[in-house]
Structure 1
Amino acid sequence: MTPTKQHTSPSFRPLYEQIKVLLTQSLIAGEWHPGEAIPSEHELAARFKVSQGTVRKAIDELAAENILIRRQGKGTFVATHNEEGIKLRFLRLTAADGQKELLENQMVDFSKTKAQGDIARMLDLKAGTSVIEAKRLLTFSGRPMILDHIIIPAGPFKGITATKIQEKNGSMYSMYETEFKIRMIRAEERLKAVAADEEVSRLLGIPLHSPLLSIERVSYTYGDVPMEWRLGLCITDTHHYMNELE
């Protein structure tokens, strides 16, 4: 395979990894949108002048990373946060009894500010870059359970408003994808135990210094570009953090 000027990749990569890079570049360029089918393995093999087995291995890796989804008898599709199975993929707080709950959100604060310090570093922004900062309460079946603090770069999310966040009622990632054509494909999290301060105890309706689970997250879009910092402060007396390890 001879990479084009638009699609280059290091020659030392295994061939299927080169195809994986080219497919990812097509996703970044918007050739195939979330929810849409990509070309068949046969078509992609002809396009890149490689075997179908090489294409299949590249697609297998992208499917394992939840970037693509295989559907038996229908083809391979770009994953979307609007699908029932994954639209709340990054929300890990689960009722201890396993019951499904009605999730709603209530806006607490929304403002435009400047990225500084650790936030600028984690979002790979220059200090002083405009960012959007939002705080909201997530309620599970009517009970406030999470205080969500979110910071995103203002440029890629031009036109976002508190009303849009409120109307989406839960999945910010679905809104990012639908309204701004930005899909989060992975996230890094740091968890620790903290105590509720005065503001948090008031908003969550819990005693001062109550124990909380702090989940700090940076979410990334295609090309491993960080696009969101988030801090969730979670009540866990009737819930726990659920994760599946492979």
Structure 2
Amino acid sequence: MPTGTIGKVLTVWSQVWPLAVAGALSPSITVIVLALLMRPDRPRARVLAFWLGAAVAMLVWAILISSALWGIVTDTERDLQRFSRAIDLVLAILLLAFALWRIFRKARPGAKPRFDFSELERQGLWSEAVFGAVMQGRNVTSVLLFLAAQQHIDTAQIPAYQQLALTFIVIGIITASIWLPLLLPLKATDAIHSRLTKPRDWLEAHTKVIEVSAALLGSAYLFYRAFA
């Protein structure tokens, strides 16, 4: 591969990896994954199905983003790179707005708990995949950060196969909150169940802080990209 092409790929990578890492800070997803790992019946298979659904959801987002950007290029007959800063600015504002909404939003009295693990008891593998797609697709911070990363990939002057490879890498990083727990040497035993309960409960209690931090970090980075 020519040195010039490598340089372009590395430039794009330097732009998108901070977004991917911030997008991986998804405590709500990890809480669900830990709950799935605590299931007595095929816990790893359930997490894999959940991850597959989440990855498919991100691929759908990637296709929608790429199609929209390509449509803009075709309609305007302009180089979309000149609009990249504007897109970063819009996404930065949206992330900041989401962070502020999460900070000042108060739980309604009598509202249902955010995590209802009883629903997991009645799901099969296919349902886990659908559940993963829905949860990842509605994860506001991860989706907005992925949109930002994908638009940098789509507007880069590199071959399509390299853009696709970067997209898969970014999806892999963003969904790390799902597949990383799979690396733990776990079996469905009472001892493991008790060991996973504490980190799950801690993440559940600190979900708001982590989500707000990820949104603010991503927003700050995109503001920097927009005005640098």
| Fold shared by both chains (TM-score > 0.5) | no
Question: TM-score w.r.t. structure 2 length?
Answer: 0.26
Name the larger-Rg structure.
1
- Between Structure 1 and Structure 2, which shows a larger proportion of strand residues? 1
Question: TM-score w.r.t. structure 1 length?
Answer: 0.24
